Amino acid sequence: MAAGVLSILVGIIHSILGEILVFKNLRRGNLVPNLPAPPLRQRNIRILWATWHLASILGVAMGIILLDFSMSSTFPLFVIYTIAMSMFLAGALVCYATKAKHPGWLGLMGVALLCWLA
């Protein structure tokens, strides 16, 4: 259950902070950012925005799956371990790419660890 809650929190926080810290100044009156940020063009910013929130949506979805499994007497270990491995690899990628300066890797690794302990 803790892994599910943590995954949902990481996903929600990711979207909120992305809007505040990354995309806030890249839009003029639209939901989707519509201003370029050289060297990126408008279309690059739009797909980055969509991909940003796609990652958040998938993290929340994994959290919901984990919460559902936590309330069941049986659950497929293959799915739990697949989520654990994907969260571990995602955390390792964020840690490496940001030289551990982005805190997201801690949340991702936390979900991975909690899944492995299930």
pTM equals 0.91
Query: Which residue has tokens 């300066």?
Result: 101
Mean predicted lDDT score pLDDT of the chain: 95
Q: What is the DSSP letter of 31?
A: S
Residue 74 pLDDT exceeds 90: no
- Looking at residue 73, its pLDDT comes to 82
**Tens digits of per-residue pLDDT, 42-71?**
999 999 999 999 999 999 999 999 999 999
Question: Structural domain boundaries of the chain?
Answer: 2-117
What pLDDT sits at residue 2? 97
- Token code pair at residue 33: 């950012």
Q: What is the mean pLDDT of residues 87-102?
A: 97
Let me know: does 79 contact 35? Beta carbons within 8 Å: no
Which pLDDT band holds residue 118 (cuts at 50, 70, 90)? confident
Token representation of residue 54: 């796609």
